[in-house]
Structure 1
């Protein structure tokens, strides 16, 4: 691993006081690069889940909450990768087969059994019709659908086959069992969410070859998307969702990857959570480091300690140190909360940095208000959290105040924008999206 330069370390220390002190990083990292999305190039990306159609969160909800007015792009999660290394739908019924009734339809009309494309895909097409500046991107992989990435990226032939199949299905719109081209024009690009190159992720096959193969896979996609874009006279977006942990980042060729993609959605969340079953309680997405954080610091002998100290500012500094331009970095913000139980109040009666006896099931932000307790904001880290001394429950999440700080950070450094997982976690009136979208 290449460590941050003294310049980056000094700027990072100052960032703990005020984000504007990090502005020199943006200058040092190089000029802005060609971009798409928005007049000033800023992007606000929201993940829309395929399975929301079953839980009652429809595409129409984005209009009712006002979220659609804050977004430049929707990433649709997820496409699967078949064992033969080609793109395939994880749920064709949700994607294009399920008829959506008029009450849940973007345009107020019900799908029919005879139309070739219904389901989520048709609703996304209707949303684009109503909001023509909005981009729709197909996200491939994710935690549960990354099993076959390593094999698909392993040879020139497999990479070409993968890219061709994804473009054929999602850009040309050739869905299985449907009239050829019926879904053309819905998707404006592809997002690769490989979790993770040369890392097991959800028990996935992996190996050291993944590091360079990931770069080559993105280059193959970029080349084929550009060729298709030349024929269609448009630019097709290519992005990558990339990890935040320094050890995982060390298995990515950050500089080359950043020059291939339009930008990287850096997953600056899940820093801490229920996998640390006994705690100590901590933030899952803090903006800055705190001098009181008990998590272990990297050392020369142990550069990647388990559940080590981490912050969004440090993650961004690491990407810049590895050759990424600020214009290629998007900061990700969670719309959900992790929690612990059996947490003592601690010296400040807020449960922060305390041991736990168990974990609480994750909840969306729209459920946090119903949880008992008091919301706190940490002065040092910029993190939001909630603690209830009666039930001894601690929650870590982002709220409007913490997101405003992140938006200021994004603007101060000249970063590309923000991304969230996922849109169905917000309140019906869009409390988070109303500040999230300020990155535009």
Structure 2
């Protein structure tokens, strides 16, 4: 579920921001100072630029920061010219939220307000502050997503276009050369340096199947391989160049390179998984959205079940485990496999109880998606199928498929048991104010 909804350019809700707490105090409370425990396994969480509850301060106060290894900032767009870019254009770019919006002392991670002439503000500056208080934490820019993958195919089409695209992304996000826009003081060469520790490619999807209007080509699978190799090459070259300039010996810094890939075997089969694996640190499997609102009249079904249910009326009997196994058979090493988990649920209304409390029943309509925290307070009874790693909530009429805390812990244990790299969350702002979703994953990864 990687969508950037439209909205006013400056619309970032601050209602969830609480009283000022310094990053130092919050970090000490979380037991995550420079000598604090390092989290076990990869814990990668998407931070949505547009979410009403998306703030670095909230990530700190809920305890999420101490339990994460990587934050994926969603999203960077790909232009029609095949470059990474920043702009303030509705539906295309939200530079104001990224690095221009001033944060007050009450909103800021460290309790310090932005100053008028500061060259970096917005979420970028707050995430940089968040990292300063959480030494284990890295921040990665995620490119594309459902809404902004339109021109990936063009950017990856030729050797020249790949070099141009990757170079623009490295300049913008790794070197931090964000542009000054509209006479504003923010931006300039190196203004955002140190914010991002790598790049995540969320091309949805090579070869087609993404949003309507996306460009796609039969050769996208091969070009995806070459694009990831080009990212790896340029990131390594920049790291070596920077180390040499600074006299760092003997080993230059390593920049992360990851990719988000769907649970769909159709898309997976188009890709050269062993070759892609050679370029990336991890592949984040989007093992959710297996069923959902697009199936308007049902039948109701799980959207992120861990194991396939033989009684599932969908003959494909989709599951996270099935997707993990398919990628493994294609050549994805377990140590580079990250299991995706959702902090949201899909719903249907007009659902009869049947013999399984609303599961696998026809519906009259879909219900709005709800986050993990919203579903915790939603009326109804939560049911858990431990055999197949799934949970749902049903009130006699409305059915929601989602992962409750017990299932989140079970999935984290699955990742450890199968020697996977860890877990990935879409998205951090879906968690509740206590960070109980992240805590549930943490329990599973530590056992």
Match of 1:341 among 333, 345, 349: 349
Q: Distance in 2 between matches of 1:41 and 1:377?
A: 26
Match of 1:103, SS state, is: coil
User: Contact 2:53–2:429 at 8 Å: present in 1 too?
Assistant: no
Match of 2:289, SS state, is: coil
The aligned counterpart of 1:18 is none
The aligned counterpart of 1:375 is 382
Instruction: Give the gaps of 5 or more residues in structure 2.
Output: 1-36, 87-92, 181-186, 243-251
User: Contact 1:138–1:191 at 8 Å: present in 2 too?
Assistant: yes
Q: Distance in 2 between matches of 1:41 and 1:323?
A: 24
Q: Distance in 2 between matches of 1:395 and 1:39?
A: 35
The aligned counterpart of 2:360 is 353
The aligned counterpart of 1:292 is 311
The aligned counterpart of 1:98 is 101
Instruction: Give the gaps of 5 or more residues in structure 1.
Output: 1-37, 298-308
Specify which structure has the bigger relative contact order, considering alpha-carbon pairs within 8 angstroms and separated by 6 or more residues.
1
User: Contact 1:41–1:416 at 8 Å: present in 2 too?
Assistant: no
Question: Are positions 1:140 and 2:149 aligned together?
Answer: no
Deviation at 1:182? 1.2
Match of 1:180 among 186, 189, 204: 189
Q: Distance in 2 between matches of 1:209 and 1:252?
A: 10
User: Contact 1:81–1:140 at 8 Å: present in 2 too?
Assistant: yes
Residue by residue over 1:136-188, the C-alpha shift from the partner in whole angstroms, topping out at 9 and shown as x without a partner, is 00000000010110000000000000000000011101011122111111100
Write out aligned runs for 1:31-430 (5 A). Answer: 42-52=41-51, 55-89=52-86, 90-177=93-180, 178-203=187-212, 204-232=214-242, 233-297=252-316, 309-348=317-356, 350-389=357-396, 392-430=397-435
What is the TM-score of this pair, normalised by structure 2?
A: 0.85
Q: Distance in 1 between matches of 2:260 and 2:40?
A: 18
Residue by residue over 1:235-285, the C-alpha shift from the partner in whole angstroms, topping out at 9 and shown as x without a partner, is 000000001011121122112111210010000000000111111111000
Aligned residues: CA RMSD: 1.3
Match of 1:168, SS state, is: helix
Deviation at 1:39? 6.4
Match of 2:346, SS state, is: strand
Deviation at 1:375? 0.1
Deviation at 1:380? 2.7
Residue by residue over 1:27-78, the C-alpha shift from the partner in whole angstroms, topping out at 9 and shown as x without a partner, is xxxxxxxxxxx969721001001113xx243110011110001100100000
Deviation at 1:296? 1.6
- With over 3 angstroms needed to count, the CA separation of the structure-2 counterparts of 1:205 and 1:216, relative to structure 1, is same
User: Contact 2:39–2:68 at 8 Å: present in 1 too?
Assistant: no
Q: Distance in 1 between matches of 2:436 and 2:74?
A: 22
Q: Distance in 2 between matches of 1:57 and 1:200?
A: 29
